[in-house]
């Protein structure tokens, strides 16, 4: 439990580290603006369209609209808002990661230089950097959608399927969000995707605690836009502080 709490609180304890290095703030401006445009546009346009459709279907603006009609209208708006939050979370995770991958990679590299005191990880040019980081995001995307599809299919099992899919969905979301933000230093080291999964699992409760907070912060509208660069910095810092890198070296030796 102590390890879970350590991981859970790590992003908040990383705030001081993040804001004490102006270079990290500078490289965060572009991805914040891009993510704000993506998330804001999708959310506002989708919810406006949904509100108009609900009002049209129910005719709630009519003079003779009764209590139950207005109640149904309010309930549908709340339900639609929650569903839209989930859909925007997926779009934000998928599309936002792909588009801002080079910027997040730059933040992660700067954090690695600060934490390790070296510049060994900063050898590639921008376009090679961008290619490797986008390729890494594409691999995570395939993995994410595959597991998500499997969890969704579990809902087809009566009663138990919904319970199992909800539990597995949360556990997977915690793991994936941890992987998402721990991945940057591993991608720079050109690790295989299977090795990335093993390294992330090696953190055990620290991984799931960190992933839990990352998932909650990424789910909250607007908050996710401003917290994402901080989570990128926190994930890279955690990778070295909790010695995930030692597991990576072990896997490299095993493969050689």
Which pLDDT score, from 0 to 100, does residue 120 have?
Answer: 59
Q: Which two tokens stand for residue 64?
A: 């003779």
Write the CA distances from 222 to 114, 157, 196, 229, 248, integer angstroms: 28, 35, 29, 13, 34
Which pLDDT score, from 0 to 100, does residue 172 have?
Answer: 94
Contact of 202 with 247, CB cutoff 8 Å:
yes
Instruction: Walk along the chain (256 residues) and give the pLDDT tens digit of each residue.
Output: 889 999 999 999 999 999 999 999 999 998 889 888 877 787 788 878 877 777 777 665 554 556 666 677 778 878 878 888 777 777 777 777 778 888 888 899 999 999 988 875 455 565 666 677 777 778 888 898 899 899 989 888 887 888 899 899 999 999 999 999 999 899 888 888 989 999 999 989 999 999 999 999 988 888 888 999 999 999 999 999 887 866 655 555 455 4
Which pLDDT score, from 0 to 100, does residue 256 have?
Answer: 47
CB atoms within 10 A of CB 119: 11
Contact of 110 with 168, CB cutoff 8 Å:
no
Write the CA distances from 70 to 47, 57, 78, 85, integer angstroms: 18, 12, 12, 23
> Who's near 118: CB < 8 A, 6+ residues apart?
none
Nearest to 181 by CA among 90, 252, 111: 111
Q: Which two tokens stand for residue 38?
A: 């993506």
CB atoms within 10 A of CB 59: 11
What predicted TM-score, i.e. pTM, was given to this entire model?
A: 0.80
Spans of all domains in the chain: 2-119+128-242
């Amino acid at each position: 439990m102590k390890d879970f709490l350590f991981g859970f609180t790590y992003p908040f304890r990383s705030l001081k580290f993040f804001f004490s290095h102006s270079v990290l703030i500078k490289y965060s401006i572009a991805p914040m603006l891009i993510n704000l445009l993506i998330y804001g546009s999708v959310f506002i346009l989708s919810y406006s369209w949904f509100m108009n459709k609900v009002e049209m279907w129910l005719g709630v603006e009519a003079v003779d609209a009764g209590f139950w009609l207005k109640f149904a209208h309010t309930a549908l708006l709340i339900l639609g808002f929650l569903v839209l939050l989930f859909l925007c979370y997926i779009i934000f995770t998928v599309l936002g990661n792909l588009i801002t991958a080079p910027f997040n990679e730059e933040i992660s590299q700067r954090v690695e230089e600060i934490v390790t005191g070296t510049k060994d990880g900063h050898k590639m040019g921008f376009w090679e950097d961008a290619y490797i980081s986008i390729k890494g995001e594409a691999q995570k995307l395939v993995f994410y959608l595959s597991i998500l599809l499997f969890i969704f299919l579990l809902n087809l099992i009566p009663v138990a399927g919904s319970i199992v899919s909800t539990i597995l969905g949360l556990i997977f979301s915690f793991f994936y969000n941890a992987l998402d933000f721990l991945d940057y230093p591993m991608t720079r080291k050109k690790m295989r995707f299977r090795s990335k999964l093993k390294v992330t699992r090696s953190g055990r409760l620290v991984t799931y605690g960190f992933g839990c907070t990352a998932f909650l912060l990424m789910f909250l509208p607007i908050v996710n836009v401003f917290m994402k660069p901080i989570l990128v910095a926190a994930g890279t810092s955690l990778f070295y502080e909790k010695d995930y890198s030692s597991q990576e070296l072990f896997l490299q030796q095993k493969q050689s």
